[in-house]
Structure 1
């Protein structure tokens, strides 16, 4: 509680609202609400990043497994085109799609299990650069007339995956989410 001093006196005085006659009654529900918030914060701090890691793993594993089935992934053509450009034509066609499927499956399993997470984050960083590459490699095709195509939108949604991967990487490298303590 702050103390307000008056220019008339050097003695500290309490604010007007602290006088017993002017105080409002405390809300009797504040106690249980605050306890609920505190418990929620503890649970979120303990489990939210792991939940993010697992959901990220499920999404990447899901997208990767689609690439094992010809024609099942809407990104199949984009994967072929991008991989061919990034490898200077050394990896093309079905090989590019299956290679990407294997990579995404491994990344998904690493995220799901949490095993090999630190080295896995390096692989994920490379993968993220690869999945964002079409924006830089094919800007005319991705944004004809300045507006994003469906393929560009598919790639741009990966910004969310990149942000989630950054949070998971921070925890894997030692960062911790800690709820505030009540003083």
Structure 2
């Protein structure tokens, strides 16, 4: 077996399994962070979530409602990604949630970056990776496929 054949085999295995692994791992992240929001004081993003949703809803959502909406949405997204059930619905909720997740970068930029990025800024900033992962997962759910390379002779 040559190195080229081995690498082609690895590439083909990755083409078959990597998007599914990404879907499940992002689902675990969303489920984990969503569950934390059900426990008062457990989420490091609790105050930022409340402040963001109060701002986006023009004060209509109370702090408790903001946390509950976020917790339910994140748990729903996580469960759909992990199980693959209602996946397209979960991806729609993910798309809507990502607007809220990233909006503090616009709404509270000077608070998040008073010089060096705050811990909250770092928390929001890493969500750029979740946005990109969501795009890859959505592409797969809508029929896009990584193509295996034919085995070298």
- The two structures have a TM-score, normalised by structure 1, of 0.79
Instruction: Tell me what 2:133 maps to.
Output: 164
| 2:18 is equivalent to residue 55 of structure 1 | no
- Residues 1:92 and 2:62 aligned together: yes
The Cα of 1:142 is off from its aligned counterpart by 1.1
Question: 2:87 aligned with 1:117, yes or no?
Answer: yes
Q: Which has the higher contact order (CA 8 A, sep 6+)?
A: 2
Runs in 1 of length 4+ with deviation above 3 angstroms? none
Question: Structure 2: how far apart are the matches of 1:153 and 1:98?
Answer: 23
- What value does the CA root-mean-square deviation take over the aligned residues? 1.3
1:61 Cα deviation after fit: 0.4
Structure 2: state its 5+ residue gaps.
none
Q: What is the CA-CA distance between 1:34 and the residue it aligns to?
A: 2.8
Give 2:121's aligned residue.
152
Unaligned runs of 5+ in 1: 1-30
Cα drift, residue 111 of structure 1 = 0.3
TM-score w.r.t. length of structure 2: 0.94
Residue 144 of structure 2 aligns to a residue in which SS? coil
Determine helix, strand or coil for the equivalent of 1:144.
Answer: coil
Query: How many residue pairs align between the two structures?
Result: 152
Equivalent in the alignment of 1:22:
none
How far, CA to CA, are the matches of 1:36 and 1:154 in structure 2? 39
More helix by share: 2
